[in-house]
Amino acid sequence: MTDNNRMVALEIVKQLKAEKLISDKEINLESKIANGIIRESDWKLIFEQQIRDTEKQTKNETE
């Protein structure tokens, strides 16, 4: 992993979390992106998790 990939990966994850596109609890994503080992299925799981978390949060707030 070069420094460039690591730096950009950190910034990407920061922005994805800020935009609530992925969960704040997501760990090791920076490393997966920086090492180029994240796969299509991983991305899907991450987004599905975030959708579930958002729905859960909305439900809790409503209650």
Partner 1 sequence: MKLSSLHINAFRGATKPITLNFSQDKNISLIYAENGNGKSSIADALVCLCTDGAGSLDDKSNKDYSFLKSLGANNSDLLVELETDTQTYKATLSANSNKIIKVPSNDLPKLKALRRAQITSFIEDTPSARYKVLSSFIDLSNIQKSEAELKKLIASLDRELGQNGKSLSDAKNTLTEIWNKEGNPMGNLNDWVQSEIKKDNSKLSKELQENISVLQSWSSLQTVVSSIKAEIAKYGIAKNNFSESEKQFKEYQLKNPNAESDLLSVLNEAKKFLIAKVEVDRCPVCEKDNEKQQLLQNVDGRIAKMQELNKLTQLINSAKTERDKLYNRLQGQIEPFNLQLIGFKTSAIKLSDFDFTDILSKILETNVTKDNYKAFNDAYLPLNVEIEKLSKHNQTVNKSVVLHNSIKSNYQSIVKLTNKCSEIDNLLKQATSSLEILEDTRKKFIDSELLSISGDVETMYQEIHPNEGLGNVKLFLNHTYQSSLNLSANFHTKSDITPQSVYSESHLDTLGLCIFIALAKKESNKDVILVLDDVVMSVDERHLDRIVSLIHTEAKNFAHVLISTHYRPWRERYRNNRAPNFNIQFLELRGWTMERGITIAKPQLVLDEIKYYLSSPEFFHRENLSGATGRFLEAILDFLTFNFQSRLKRKPGNDYTLSELLDCLSKELLKVLKVHKMSLLIEGKYCNNNFDDEVYLKPVIDEVKNLKAIRNQVGAHFTFDGALVSDNDIENFAKSTIKLAELLICPENGTLPDRNKSGSYWETKSGSIRLFPLLEP
- Residues forming contacts to partner 1 in the complex (CB under 8 A) are 1-2, 4-5, 7-9, 11-12, 15-16, 19, 21-22, 32-36, 38-40, 42-44, 47-48, 50-51
CB of 34 to partner 1, least distance (A): 6
Which tokens belong to 47?
């987004």
Q: Least separation, in Å, of the C-beta of 44 and partner 1?
A: 6
Q: Which helix (H) or strand (E) holds 19?
A: none
Calculate the alpha carbon distances from 55 to 19, 29, 49 in Å: 16, 22, 10
| Nearest to partner 1 of 15, 57 (CB atom) | 15
